Structure 1
Amino acid sequence: MALAGGRGFLIQPYFSSSFVCKNIINKPSFGVKNTFWPARLGPTSRVTRTVVRAQLRPTWLPGLDPPPYLDGSLPGDYGFDPLGLGEDPQSLKWYVQAELVHARFAMLGVAGILFTDLLRVTGIINLPLWYDAGAVKFKFANTGTLFIVQLILMGFAETKRYMDFVSPGSQAEGPFLGMEAALEGLEPGYPGGPLLNPLGLAKDIKNAGDWKLKEIKNGRLAMVAMLGFFVQAYVTHVGPIDNLVEHLSNPWHTTIIQNLSHPAS
């Protein structure tokens, strides 16, 4: 007989005449040990004990039972889907690809903003603030030309990515300037070849779970960091390195609370 205790635990009565349970082999994933509570002693000295077993995989909220369609097979799956967006299997596949692409753009954005802002603050190069960079007029081409070129290049890359998602491996077929092997993806969302994987990392993409997990974790952190950059720029009107230097110079009075309560004019 088994009773469900909450959503994340299984409470199972166990009957024995000793205090040693020999058949419990499942161990919890977050350090909670199997616990036994002695019940009443009957005439035959039989003891009833209850075993509380924690769930076997970590979730974003400990003790929460993840939805059935998030079974832990996806990289970075901690059962977080409060709106139920991934109930449809096809939609879930697309959301996984969308998160992966946004994570990579966020990592590139964070690295670019911090690097250029460091060059600007140290005076090595005279650069604009990152949120003003888009308004800079370049001498080698006008803004309209740059926009059209970027639209064509990114449109081409995104179209190829979508076609590979719809038909995996199709983008390595047919002639393309002799670069077919360089454009061949390992699986949807994970390009390979010497052009897009020059270091040869995770060549065996089917067994590269650790690499996938590290990438999506860093990508999610970068997306949160980009949100922080947006809020900082709106409130303080300076770059992230300036914000960091100002906070370190007066950590008790230059905080997020003071900045939000007294934004720069």
Structure 2
Amino acid sequence: MAVTVGKVFLAQPCTSASFIANGKHVHRSSFGFAANPGAAPLRHSWTVVRAQERPTWLPGLDPPPYLNGTLAGDYGFDPLGLGEDPESLKWFVQAELVHCRFAMAGVAGILFTDLLRVTGISNLPVWYEAGAVKFGFASTKTLFIVQMILMGFVETKRYMDIVNPGSQAKEGAFLGIEAAFEGLEPGYPGGPILNPLGLAKDIKNAHDWKLKEIKNGRLAMIAMLGIFVQASVTHAGPIDNLVEHLSNPWHKTIVQTLANSSS
């Protein structure tokens, strides 16, 4: 019987087979039912004999129709139905990409600087206090204004490319250096600056690269959540937490840490 939930049906030819049973010539179809011995064997009739499972976040789940598997990392997860509107879904896809990339950069930056701090290679503050550090080359207000201008410019260009795909790759759209960025499609810029290794030049057929990025990005967002919780509970960086855990793995775990923090 073909299963309908979360599956894509594939039609295959139904073949037949013959064998000797109890001294009689018995003809069976591919389903195992005995056919009429006097009838000619049917060897090329088509029927639905199996279904190919589509990976979903919950096994056996029937994914919503608007999540048809074409998006990178689409496992049918939308319990609140937020993506029913195609325009909203387009924005959510771009928002997830941006959050994934910031999370990957954040996790890498926190771990790297924390490692330098713990090993004594550099006198850096713990990551959650880095924002309060005063820099000698510029005031906090100046740095904030510069960041707002730069980030505002980049985000505006990204927004314009989403609204009108390809518009930011036209000549004169980016100070005459459009070719250095060479937008591939909304959310996936390229060129020698943002794609120096030349990966996924054919972005339309780069599903594997997109899937790898979105999976690593989602993992990074979970990691960032864990780092936030660790900092709130232990008031220490992730490398400090790791070193403490390794010093006594059976007694210094998340269970004991949360139990001690609540007492």
SS at match of 1:263: helix
- CA shift for structure 1 position 156: 0.4
Alignment of 1:140 onto 2:137: yes
Q: Is the 8 A contact 2:2 2:51 kept in 1?
A: no
Equivalent of 2:190 in 185, 189, 192: 192
Aligned residue in 1 for 2:66: 69
- CA shift for structure 1 position 245: 1.0
From the superposition, tell whether residues 184 and 261 of structure 1 become closer, same or farther in structure 2 (CA, over 3 Å). same
Runs of 4+ off more than 6 Å: 2-5
Query: How do 1:193-208 residues align onto structure 2 when only pairs under 5 Å count?
Result: 193-208=191-206
Q: Is the 8 A contact 2:233 2:261 kept in 1?
A: yes
RMSD over aligned Cα atoms: 2.7
From the superposition, tell whether residues 21 and 200 of structure 1 become closer, same or farther in structure 2 (CA, over 3 Å). same
Query: Unpaired segments of 5 or more residues in structure 1?
Result: 23-35, 45-50
- CA shift for structure 1 position 54: 5.3
Query: How many positions carry a matched residue from both structures?
Result: 238
Q: Is the 8 A contact 2:6 2:53 kept in 1?
A: no
The amino acid across from 1:21 in the alignment is: S
- CA shift for structure 1 position 262: 1.2
Query: How do 1:1-265 residues align onto structure 2 when only pairs under 5 Å count?
Result: 7-8=5-6, 20-21=29-30, 53=50, 55-175=52-172, 176-263=174-261
TM-score normalized by the length of structure 2: 0.82
User: Matches of 1:86 and 1:199 in 2, distance apart?
Assistant: 34
Q: Is the 8 A contact 1:55 1:63 kept in 2?
A: no
User: Matches of 1:261 and 1:144 in 2, distance apart?
Assistant: 41
- CA shift for structure 1 position 183: 2.9
The amino acid across from 2:114 in the alignment is: D
The amino acid across from 2:140 in the alignment is: T
SS at match of 2:246: helix
Q: Is the 8 A contact 1:186 1:192 kept in 2?
A: yes
SS at match of 1:177: coil
- CA shift for structure 1 position 112: 0.2
User: Matches of 2:154 and 2:98 in 1, distance apart?
Assistant: 12
